[in-house]
Amino acid sequence: MPIYEALTGQDYVKIAGFVAKQPETSIPFICWQRGFKGEGLLVDSIQRLKEQMPYLHIFWIEDNGEIRAVISFHERMSIEKVPIVTYAFVCVTEEDWKNNNGSYFKELIDWLIRNKWNEYGVERGEFFGVEKYALWTKELCGDSMEVLGKDYALDLGEIVYAYTIDFKKYVGTR
């Protein structure tokens, strides 16, 4: 499946249009909006955030010309002063969410680990994700993923997990 990085205003329009197609009450929609402080459908907000955070990257995966999943992440330094990445916002189609189809999400994560994050010299990621995203990640990453904790997010009505992925270990096991 083709994977793209959002680099232009046209890309932001496409991403905002994809998110806008998801029901406003769906977890994928709410997770995306939460990351953008409720303004994830506004192209100006996406562009402004990219300008404020030049280390924010947004990638999406398509199937037959349709976006199936979008993941944004940013690079930062860990407490140990090593470069890491973390998800900023994630959105999959409502259809894939309801049908527990994590294939596009997992393909995008796999590609990011093998290509982009490796390119940046990053060896691990620290993430927060609702239970379904965390389970899909565990299915993909196996022992390379370690759950650090979980908590119930009242505003989402979902359990949110904190977890890490050891990218070197993941690539070495594949």
Q: Averaged over 65-91, what is the pLDDT?
A: 84
Could you tell me the pLDDT band of residue 143, with boundaries at 50, 70 and 90? Answer: very high
Share of the chain above pLDDT 90, in %: 35
Asked if residue 73 belongs to a domain, the reply is: yes
Asked if residue 17 belongs to a domain, the reply is: yes
Neighbours of 55 (CB within 10 A): 12
Residue with the two structure tokens 């890491």: 84
Residue-averaged pLDDT of the chain? 86
Asked if residue 32 belongs to a domain, the reply is: yes
Is 90 exceeded by the pLDDT of residue 67?
Answer: yes
Asked if residue 136 belongs to a domain, the reply is: no
> Which one is predicted more confidently, 30 or 11?
11
Q: Are the C-beta atoms of 68 and 104 separated by less than 8 Å?
A: yes
Asked if residue 8 belongs to a domain, the reply is: yes
7 contact partners, CB below 8 Å, separation of at least 6: none
pLDDT of 39: 56
How many folded domains does the chain comprise? 1
Asked if residue 80 belongs to a domain, the reply is: yes
Asked if residue 62 belongs to a domain, the reply is: yes
Asked if residue 64 belongs to a domain, the reply is: yes
Q: Averaged over 56-69, what is the pLDDT?
A: 94
Task: Write out the residue range of the structural domain in which residue 29 sits.
Answer: 3-122
pLDDT digits (tens, 9 = 90+) for 118-141: 777 788 888 888 899 999 999 999
Is 80 exceeded by the pLDDT of residue 46?
Answer: no
Is 70 exceeded by the pLDDT of residue 170?
Answer: yes
Could you tell me the pLDDT band of residue 33, with boundaries at 50, 70 and 90? Answer: confident
DSSP string for residues in 99-116: TT--HHHHHHHHHIIIII
> Which one is predicted more confidently, 169 or 119?
169
Residue with the two structure tokens 């594949």: 174
pTM as predicted: 0.88
Q: Are the C-beta atoms of 111 and 60 separated by less than 8 Å?
A: no
pLDDT of 133: 92
CATH of the domain at 64: 3.40.630.30
